[in-house]
Amino acid sequence: MAPSICDLTLAELTAHLKADGEPEYRAGQVFDWIYKKRSFAWEAMSSLPGALRAKLSRQFPFPDMRQIEMHLSEDGTRKFLFGLCDGQRVESVFIPAEKRATLCISSQAGCKFGCGFCASGLGGWKRDLTPGEIIGQVLLAKKACADAGEVTHIVFMGVGEPFDNYDNVLKAVRLLNAPEALHIAARRITISTCGVLPGIERLAGEGLQVELSVSLHASNDALRSSLMPVNRKYPLAALMKACRAYARKTDRQVTFEYILIKGLTCTDKCADELYEILRGWLCKINFIACNPVGEFPHKPSSRDEIGRFRASLQERGIVTTFRTPRGKDIAAACGQLRNAV
Ligand code: SF4
């Protein structure tokens, strides 16, 4: 696939223009048009000479993406389905809150990890997204949600496993963070992994202040392997060792995501096992209500079950949070809209 303009860093575009005999300062103008003035088309860049615009549009077209659907939830959540150049589709979800707005984005078309509660894995993996397609989701969603507030936070929790597309995701993160591009603080960017160890180890060495979130979802290997096939390759002990090493090296807290499935993941035994896994280090566990997906048998835990489970850990000093489900009326859980279309 030919690179799009959204695949390039400012330094790369500057170097390209220089090599092409064009003034280097034009790169800054192009970035201003795309990232500050929110233009998603070369024709709009009126401060650039027409000949240069025409040449750059041939060399670096905009990502061939379009909004196929947008669903608005009664709680303000907006779910987007974007079509890509080859007919693949990706989802992004805009989640406004009181003082922030989070955009959840996808890193791959489909997913090969097949977690047993997630609609994204159902159709299998199709391909990796380019950095430009990852950035394109943000640009298009920002434009469509301009009436509802600025995107302040980005989470890689949409379709795909970010560390299975490591280089493209990291390049997109750098563009999200760059002052001349989207200028979103690194601490407001979260990369969420199902536990791909090499990715955790590589991220620890990047010197980035991004948040790392790890999908734990079970407290022992047997249960985790039954819910998340990735556990057979990277079992719990190795995963936790890598997470502890990450926290030590980066001096940053790791967040664990944990799904609450009725009668399965929030028993007293699970609480005791989780406590043993998490005690004594800088981390937090974020509980997520199970989102019923037709293809899977799991049911959400009851309010009582959740309360008892959380209290059992909190009483022993484990920091827990509970993510309130958003956009339930628009199938906002990862992969649900993409599969429905
Ligand atoms: S939870 Fe993440 S890694 Fe697992 S199948 Fe869904 S998208 Fe893939």
User: For 155-175, how does the pLDDT look when each residue is reduced to its tens digit (9 = 90+)?
Assistant: 999 999 999 999 999 999 999
Q: Taking 70 as the threshold, does the pLDDT of residue 121 lie above it?
A: yes
Query: Is the CB of residue 161 below 6 angstroms from any atom belonging to ligand 1?
Result: yes
CATH superfamily, domain 66-340, is Aldolase class I (3.20.20.70)
Question: Which pair of structure tokens corresponds to residue 14?
Answer: 């500057």
0.85 exceeded by pTM: yes
- Looking at the predicted structure, is the pLDDT value of residue 124 above 70? yes
Would the CATH topology of 5-59 be identical to that of 66-340?
no
Which CATH code for domain 5-59?
Answer: 1.10.150.530
Nearest to 208 by CA among 175, 180, 243: 175
Average pLDDT over residues 256-274: 94
pLDDT (tens digit per residue) in 3-12 = 999 999 999 9
- What is the CA(110)–ligand 1 centre distance, in A? 9
> CA of 26: how far to CAs of 22, 65, 178, 182, 215, in Å?
8, 25, 18, 18, 43
The CA 224 to ligand 1 mean position distance, Å, reads: 13
How high is the mean pLDDT of the chain?
A: 93
Q: Mean pLDDT lowest for which of 25-29, 115-119, 125-129, 326-330?
A: 326-330
> Which of 150, 34, 54 is closest to 103 using CA atoms?
150
- Ligand 1, residue 159: give the atom nearest the CA: 7
Ligand 1 atom nearest 108 alpha carbon: 7
Percent of the chain with pLDDT over 70: 96
Residue from 90, 108, 112, 118 whose mutation best tests the ligand 1 pocket (most atoms within 8 A of CB):
118
- The Cβ of residue 64 has, within 10 Å, a number of other Cβ atoms equal to 14
Domain residues of the chain, as ranges?
5-59, 66-340
